[in-house]
Structure 1
Amino acid sequence: MSRGRSANRPTGIPLRGMLDVAMRMWQRQSTQNLGLIAAGIAFYGLLSLFPGITAAVAFAGTFLNPDMLVENSAEITAMLPEAAEQIVMGQLRDVANADASTLNFAALFAVAIALYSASKAVANLISGLNVIYGEKETRNFFVVKALTVFLTFVLIVGLLIAIIMVAAIPVIASFVDEYGVIDELVMFLRWPALFLMGVVGIAILYRLGPNRRSARWRWLTPGAFVACALWVAGSYGFSLYVQSFGSYNETFGALGGVIILLTWLWLSAFIVLLGALLDAELEAQTRRDSTVGEDRPMGQRDAVKADTLGPARGDDLTEPAE
């Protein structure tokens, strides 16, 4: 029975093959310590969060009213657990209410800290992607640093675009639309647009991050889509858990909100890594070349997952090509 060993796209892998993929994912997420890698990403993500808020408010405040920015940002932070949301929104309000001259000076310092911490988080993410795809980092120091800076820049630009889409576009639509029809349409469409932007951003990360010949886009989008969907569901699920069953504040006291925020960042990083793991094992399910450029035989594709056929349940690797 077919396992999808000759599939030229993920949709060509049947259920039996997807069960092989799921088995390998379950085994590898534990043996390759994805949770530990996600913890390092979350740590640097937390360090970059508050300087990033300061920098974002300073820059966005040049064309947006700070109070309006804070008010509309509440829609983004609503998916966070309440204690974490209070920390983020409290920082946003403090920065928005700060003196403009002080804010501009602080923004310069905050940008430096945010860029450093965010780049460290991205560097850990690149290392994690190499682990997931079975690659060793052989690129020279300057290439890796340039890639890290580029991906960090993409991340920051994406966050700024998200802020503008949530905070500015509805206000602009309300001015140009007398009857509110466009305003309601924009309010609805901005969330699917943000989701699509997240899928594209994660797919770019999966394509450029690992030290290998890049995979074709069709082998990257399933993991990116699943990662975005799991992140939305996981964020709301974690928020519900903290509100209903969590005892972080009782256990950690005043640090409860910070611990919740750090846990949410860990969950987010783990989900992004899990999406990459899905893409990697989908590639390993087929004998077909999943890398860019002309088709190459297995062993000559400069990508471990494209060059190696993943084991099936029961180690059945004898199935002939379809």
Structure 2
Amino acid sequence: MSDNDSPAELSRDDWRVILRRTVHEYRINQVYDLAAALTYYAVLAVFPALLATLATVGIFGSAEAGAENALEVIGDLGGESVAEALREPLEQLVNASNAALAFITGLVGVVWAASSFVGAFGRGMNRIYGVGEGRPFWEMRPTMIGVSALIVVLGAIVAFALIVSGPVADSLARVIGIDEGVVLWWDLAKLPVLVGVAILVIAVLYWAGPNVKRRNFRWLSVGAVGALLAWIVTTALFWLYVFGFGGYQRTFGVVGGIIAFLLWVWLSNLAMMFGAVLDTEVERARQLRAGILAEEHVQLPLRDDRLIEKNREQRARDIRDSAAMRADTAVDGLARPAETALPPDE
């Protein structure tokens, strides 16, 4: 199979099978639970990321204006009640005396939380591929931290694109010495930048997360685009429900806004996992078209199998030790076949 295989080479019938099996595998692999775990780690990274971003804005420009922009974005996503609840903590962050220390603290916190997210994402993708995690902790953790650092950098671009606008953009332009026309073009170019960064982040997670070696890195994979489209549609429908019909703000106030935000993060992770399943099924279709037996499992080499072998050996020892606890266990540690119990004579 050539590395230049394109999804365009797949027929309409192929895509029908791909989409049908994507839906089935999505359910069979219990992606809902995987997305819930990812939501936990994502929420852990929110405040460190916000701290690092505001500290950076405070170093180069107006932290107060940056906080107001951040609250405006939060208000758009989670409602005004959530923004008001976060106003005081954000003001305390902005008024911190040492912006450099706040930046370092936030950066360390967000990298740690992001590495946990990447690790959980990789375990979820291992389930989708039907493989175990074979990379030892001492080797996998630095890799996850490196991937997390890259994602943090890309995420910082997204954060700046959302926060650095209006007065903040004007302040930074004056400090750096950028012409006002560049600021205008930046405001116009933010959307394609955000889309490109989002697709790249998803593609990096799909490539580096699982314990399988993909043929090559595709930053514009079918799954990444599918995940982004699913996220856009899901986000639009969800917030239409929340603000149009749900009445979360009127009924629950701040708590309702927080619940809505957590649900949105969960739905976002569902969209990313949908793209992961879709990518797997596209790869399966390519292999099947090339004559590879991939009906049951996608045939991709493992990155590492040392931990898998270690766990298999440990499990075998545990089984032998457990068997020794039974009264009918043989001297050599192996269990004798249990005799079939006959019903009593009537």
Check conservation: 2:81, 2:253, Cα contact below 8 A: no
Give, in whole Å, the separation in 2 of the partners of 1:147 and 1:256. Answer: 38
Match of 2:226 in 1: 226
Check conservation: 2:231, 2:271, Cα contact below 8 A: yes
Give 1 or 2 for the bigger CA radius of gyration.
2
Classify 1:253/1:87 alpha carbon distance in 2 versus 1 (closer, same or farther; 3 Å): closer
Q: Give the partner amino acid of 1:29.
A: Y
Matches for 1:204-223 after TM superposition, within 5 Å: 204-218=204-218, 221-223=221-223
Match of 2:317 in 1: none
Match of 1:312 in 2: none
Check conservation: 1:41, 1:125, Cα contact below 8 A: yes
2:129 paired with 1:133? yes
Structure with bigger RCO (C-alpha 8 Å, 6+ apart): 1
How far the C-alpha of 1:111 sits from its partner, in A, is: 4.3
Match of 2:45 in 1: 48
Q: Give the partner amino acid of 1:140.
A: P
How far the C-alpha of 1:272 sits from its partner, in A, is: 0.9
Check conservation: 1:79, 1:239, Cα contact below 8 A: no
For residue 59 of structure 2, give the secondary structure of its aligned residue in structure 1. Answer: coil
Match of 1:22 in 2: 19
Q: Give the partner amino acid of 1:146.
A: P
Matches for 1:40-189 after TM superposition, within 5 Å: 40-73=37-70, 76-77=73-74, 80-82=77-79, 86=83, 90=87, 93-101=90-98, 105=101, 108-168=104-164, 170-171=169-170, 176-177=178-179, 180=181, 182-189=182-189
Give the number of aligned pairs: 291
Give, in whole Å, the separation in 2 of the partners of 1:88 and 1:214. Answer: 44
* Deviation by residue 1:94-138 (Cα, 9 ceiling, x = unmatched): 24542323x655555544443333322221111111112222111
For residue 305 of structure 1, give the secondary structure of its aligned residue in structure 2. Answer: coil
Give, in whole Å, the separation in 1 of the partners of 2:78 and 2:5. Answer: 41
How far the C-alpha of 1:283 sits from its partner, in A, is: 0.6
Classify 1:167/1:81 alpha carbon distance in 2 versus 1 (closer, same or farther; 3 Å): closer
For residue 61 of structure 2, give the secondary structure of its aligned residue in structure 1. Answer: coil
Query: So what's the TM-score if we normalise by structure 2?
Result: 0.72
Q: Give the partner amino acid of 2:144.
A: T
Match of 1:255 in 2: 255
Q: Give the partner amino acid of 2:44.
A: L
Check conservation: 2:200, 2:219, Cα contact below 8 A: no
Give, in whole Å, the separation in 1 of the partners of 2:46 and 2:68. Answer: 19
Match of 1:284 in 2: 284
Give, in whole Å, the separation in 2 of the partners of 1:124 and 1:84. Answer: 31
Check conservation: 1:67, 1:96, Cα contact below 8 A: no
Classify 1:200/1:289 alpha carbon distance in 2 versus 1 (closer, same or farther; 3 Å): farther
Check conservation: 1:70, 1:92, Cα contact below 8 A: no
CA RMSD in angstroms, aligned pairs only:
3.3
Check conservation: 2:18, 2:281, Cα contact below 8 A: yes
Runs of 4+ in 1 over 6 A off after TM superposition: none
Unaligned runs of 5+ in 2: 302-346
Give, in whole Å, the separation in 2 of the partners of 1:84 and 1:148. Answer: 35
How far the C-alpha of 1:88 sits from its partner, in A, is: 8.2
Check conservation: 1:54, 1:107, Cα contact below 8 A: yes
Check conservation: 2:122, 2:210, Cα contact below 8 A: yes
How far the C-alpha of 1:227 sits from its partner, in A, is: 1.5
Q: Give the partner amino acid of 2:39.
A: A
2:193 paired with 1:193? yes
* Deviation by residue 1:252-306 (Cα, 9 ceiling, x = unmatched): 564222211211111111111111111100011123799xxxxxx847x9xx524
How far the C-alpha of 1:56 sits from its partner, in A, is: 2.3
Q: Quick one: percent identity of the two aligned structures?
A: 26
For residue 268 of structure 1, give the secondary structure of its aligned residue in structure 2. Answer: helix
Give, in whole Å, the separation in 2 of the partners of 1:124 and 1:91. Answer: 32
Unaligned runs of 5+ in 1: 1-6, 291-296, 309-322
Check conservation: 1:132, 1:277, Cα contact below 8 A: yes
